[in-house]
Amino acid sequence: MSPRIVGFAPAAWLVAFVAWVLDPAKRKAFYGLLAALGTLLVVAGVRTDSWVTGWVGVVAAALDLVALVLGTWKARRIEVKVLYAAQLALLAALKLVGVLTDGQASYLGDLGNQALAIVPMLILFWRTDTKTPTGEPLLEYRARHGLRAAPEV
């Protein structure tokens, strides 16, 4: 029996977070809660309507971006165009609330574009299987060529 640190299970928390973020109904409930909190801040006079609207947009864009990345990772396919669009939405929301200036948003956009430019190469590296003659993943190779056993190498 392996020793276990009581109360410390980061993998379990991560799995729970991923499951929560990928569930559209739970995300929709969170958006409703966020809108209610924003309304409460405006009604109480703590913050202005424009401030709340901007920050709700930032949190929603960030959560959508996390859900998109986790969903594509779970599906083992990444839509680079969708990631570009999500990056633009997040940067626009951060500019709207005044967290980023135009120059900072442009700089972060350039960094994000450079990072996303290497994603297809990483996908090819991740998906290439040297055990198949074509380099495609073994399950796809078997399905495409009607094989049940592993190909001879």
CB 72 within 8 A of CB 116: no
pLDDT, mean of residues 16-24: 74
Instruction: Please tell me the pTM assigned to this model.
Output: 0.52
> pLDDT tens, 75-98?
556 677 777 888 888 888 888 888
pLDDT at residue 72, as a whole number: 66
From CA 119, how far away is CA 84, in angstroms rounded? Answer: 11
Which tokens in the block code for residue 135?
Answer: 């380099």
Q: How far apart are CA 94 and CA 57, in angstroms?
A: 8
Q: List pLDDT tens digits, range 111-153.
A: 988 888 887 777 777 777 778 887 777 777 777 777 665 555 5
The DSSP code sequence of 100-123 is S-HHHHHHHHHHHHHHHHTHHHHH
